[in-house]
Amino acid sequence: MLARALTSLFLLVPSLAWASEDGGHGAEAVHHMTLGEFLPLWSVVPFAGLLLSIALVPMVAGHWWHHNRNQLLVAVGWAAPVAAFLVYCTVTDFHGLGHDASHGLKHAIAEYLGFIALLGSLYVISGGILLRGDLEGTPTTNTTFLAIGAVLANVIGTTGASMLLIRPLLRTNSQREHVWHIPIFFIFLVSNIGGALTPIGDPPLFLGYLRGIDFFWTLYNLWYIWLPTVGLLLVMFFALDSMMFRKEDKAHRIADEQIIEPLGFEGQVNFLLLGGVIVAVLALNPNPEVVDFRHYYAREAVMFGLAGASMVLTSQSIRTRNGFTWDPILEVAALFVGIFVAMIPATALLQANGDALGVTEPWQYFWATGGLSAFLDNAPTYVTFAAMACGTDPTCMTAENLAPLSVGEFSPVLQAISLGAVFCGAGSYIGNGPNFMVRAIAEQSGYKMPSFFGYSGYAAVFLIPPFILVTVIWLI
């Protein structure tokens, strides 16, 4: 009923506005309007409502929310009026918007398939690799874990690296008492900031890749900011962990020294399968200007096939000991089916009217993208601000092809948007998919994690100073 009512409003109010502005000159004057020029501002309500639901419903109705079926109902409920309006425009060519509507829906479907294929395959395959062992939980060991994880996040994604490393890191420090900071910095470095160098690393960058950004653009343009930022956070962690380590009493230190198990891998075949995913992404990238599902099906079919091979070739005991469940990836699949459709009006409006918002400088894009990425999901936030930047670049003709932003005078803007989305996804539990997953695993392992707002407070204390340095040194 709500979806039907919202759909009716989508059709009615723009029609009235068009009729009043047209002054009776007929449909000919409107036929050439783009979707972003036609839609009213309130058409972003479904997108905003869905993102707010993701942020707030878990806090007020956690038990109900954590059923994947309910998450899907919320996502589809918010996206339904947008989908209905776009389908209506496609079928009837409503006010000449048929091409834009059809184009937007096709790209939303294609991007969703690519997004889920990548995250799903990385999640399933990395879940078949068991890193067993229990080292001595010293500051040097822990810092090494985080450094390796930050690099590895660019190869197997922040989701894959988080799944692979969080449990052995928690086991390594299970005999210590003062460990509240360890999973927090793990979320900072491995689940978010570390994955800024490749499209495989973090979902926002993969969406940029799907929209025409060269695969190696992030590596060439972000490494010299990524390296000192990660290095500074590792130094901060080492100093803090050293303070906490000195607080450990003798009994905890002796227990930690006595329970030592060398690291070892099981499920090594999955490393080959992860390599196959990387090859598929590199070799089967479609042309973003041509939405032909034959181009997408080959890549997605290969990635889904590799995930299926991982399920067949990996013993169930490995996945059981890894704590592998389907819930995290099903949650992502359920929510993003709504996000990719509901965000179409927002991206269209920002592309058409973004220059009116006064966000023009790279540092402004960094903090605007980062501020929303911290408390919404960073993937749609990246697309939204990239679309806004596209609207201010005369060479960027459509937000479905962002390649023009990666060259020339607008490259620093895309750089700032990329950094804001990836770095600031660490600002809250809902900023990026792996954040909640790491929190859940840590709590299952006996670690007391801070509340939603408690975590965000720690993020502000530890992350804002490095981000200010990033702004002052590279973005102004």
Domain extents in the chain: 124-331
Average pLDDT over residues 227-244: 97
Write down the pLDDT at residue 23. Answer: 44
Identity (one letter) of the amino acid at 128? G
Write down the pLDDT at residue 32. Answer: 61
Q: What is the pTM of this model?
A: 0.80
Write down the pLDDT at residue 442. Answer: 86
H or E element at residue 265: strand 261-266
**Whether the predicted pLDDT of 452 surpasses 70:** yes
Residue with tokens 């620093």: 412
Rg for the chain (alpha carbons), in Å? 23
Average pLDDT over residues 132-153: 90
**Whether the predicted pLDDT of 170 surpasses 70:** yes
Average pLDDT over residues 177-181: 91
Tokens representing 66 are 């954590």
Write down the pLDDT at residue 33. Answer: 79
Q: Which of 429, 402, 422 is nearest to 213 (CA)?
A: 402
Residue 425 has, within 13 A of its CA and on its CB side, a CA count of: 34
Average pLDDT over residues 158-172: 89
Write down the pLDDT at residue 472. Answer: 97
Write down the pLDDT at residue 97. Answer: 85
Rounded Cα gap, residues 235 and 193, in angstroms: 15
Percent of the chain with pLDDT over 90: 42
**Whether the predicted pLDDT of 148 surpasses 80:** yes
Backbone angles phi, psi at 194, to 5 degrees: -60, -30
Write down the pLDDT at residue 474. Answer: 96
Rounded Cα gap, residues 405 and 423, in angstroms: 20
Average pLDDT over residues 242-246: 93
Q: Are 422 and 153 in contact (CB under 8 A)?
A: no
Write down the pLDDT at residue 5. Answer: 52
Rounded Cα gap, residues 72 and 105, in angstroms: 19
Rounded Cα gap, residues 107 and 100, in angstroms: 11
**Whether the predicted pLDDT of 80 surpasses 60:** yes
Q: Are 222 and 197 in contact (CB under 8 A)?
A: yes
pLDDT tens column, 27-75:
444 446 788 888 888 999 998 898 888 878 888 888 898 888 999 999 9
Q: Are 3 and 80 in contact (CB under 8 A)?
A: yes
Kindly tell me the burial class for residue 262, based on how many C-beta atoms sit within 10 Å of its own C-beta (0-12, 13-18, 19 or more).
exposed
**Whether the predicted pLDDT of 12 surpasses 80:** no
Rounded Cα gap, residues 30 and 154, in angstroms: 46
Confidence of residue 393 (pLDDT cuts 50, 70, 90): confident
> Among the listed ranges 285-289, 372-376, 427-431, which one has the minimum average pLDDT value?
285-289
Question: Torsion over CA of 449, 73, 379 and 84, rounded to 10 degrees?
Answer: -160
Confidence of residue 256 (pLDDT cuts 50, 70, 90): low
Rounded Cα gap, residues 169 and 150, in angstroms: 14
C-beta neighbour count of 234 within 10 angstroms = 18
Q: Are 188 and 232 in contact (CB under 8 A)?
A: no
Collapsing DSSP to helix, strand or coil, 133 comes out as strand
**Whether the predicted pLDDT of 99 surpasses 60:** yes
pLDDT tens column, 271-328:
999 999 988 888 876 554 554 544 557 888 999 999 999 999 999 999 988 878 888 7
Average pLDDT over residues 230-250: 94
More confident position, 474 or 347: 474
Q: Which of 228, 231, 250, 251 is nearest to 239 (CA)?
A: 231
Burial 358-387 (b: 16+ CB within 10 A, else e): ebeebbbbbbbbbebbbbbbbbbbbbbbbb
Write down the pLDDT at residue 19. Answer: 41
H or E element at residue 134: strand 130-134
